[in-house]
Structure 1
């Protein structure tokens, strides 16, 4: 018999154990497939407290992929960048603050590259 595996979203996990506990869970075991037994008394992952362990076993028994939450962090970071840019922060300042290129900042902010890029006129050689 083939074992069924399930991928969870961060929202599904948060709906069961709460947003703070979900963030803690993905920081501890995010990015791996983990087994939650039907009988939560069969042991528990050392990084999880008993209440979280029991809730995960009850709602998601079996092999479950726990997401890393990377996309959620990127969405939050990008929203923060757009907010700071709208408030007047400079592209280069944001690029340095977030360790990104100025092109990435422009793309995140909806990048109208032509109007925001400085132009340089090259002189002709004699």
Structure 2
């Protein structure tokens, strides 16, 4: 999770250098980047409730694709904005996976798992 929030440190210089976005545009893009995690939370929750393994695979693929494509397709403000929105939407959806990893009602101990399972 720290690496995700650390992305703000690296995304700002990228947005300044590659699409040459100004301070106002960068602020708006980072705000959208942060806010779309909420959308991902809802979308991810719905998808993970229906098909958790397939949904988590799709979430991981979208997250990886958004990050990998940023240097390739993020040379314009629109491309960078779309990839940042995809990135945080996928990350927000990923966050819904954590409770699924920490609770297994079929376990004899009532479903609780140790702290070692906090990272999916």
Higher strand share: 1
Higher helix share: 2
TM-score for both structures, normalised by structure 1: 0.31
Please say which structure displays the higher CA radius of gyration.
Answer: 1
Q: Relative contact order, CA 8 A, sep 6+: which one is greater? A: 2
TM-score for both structures, normalised by structure 2: 0.32
